[in-house]
Amino acid sequence: MKEVASVAFWAFIAVVVIANVWREVAMRRETEMTIRMALEKGQQLDAATVDQLLTRYLDQFDGAHHAETAHLADRRQAAQSLEAG
């Protein structure tokens, strides 16, 4: 009986972790799609708007993903260069 409880506990932990990772990936994908669709439709995105969209994504996860912050900063620069060019 103890083994079943242990397996159930670790299965629950795995489900929570996987669900959280999936949610983060889905949120990032939606943020990138929003920016991409706006650019494809010819929408002029100023740096403040792009920054607000990217910051909103980071704020939802308390900025805990430092590697992701660098990745999003690169995307922000690319969007700004597209806007300028």
Is 70 a member of any domain?
yes
Task: Write out the residue range of the structural domain in which residue 34 sits.
Answer: 22-84
pLDDT at 72: 65
pLDDT per residue of the chain (85 residues) written in tens, 0 to 9: 789 999 999 999 999 999 999 998 898 899 889 889 998 999 888 888 888 887 776 666 555 555 555 666 677 777 777 666 5
Secondary structure in 3-state letters for the chain: CHHHHHHHHHHHHHHHHHHHHHHHHHHHHHHHHHHHHHHHCCCCCCHHHHHHHHHHHHHHCCCCCHHHHHHHHHHHHHHHHHHHC
Is 8 a member of any domain?
no
Is 6 a member of any domain?
no
Is 1 a member of any domain?
no
pLDDT at 76: 72
Is 47 a member of any domain?
yes
Q: What is the pTM of this model?
A: 0.55
Q: Based on the structure, what is the number of domains in the chain?
A: 1
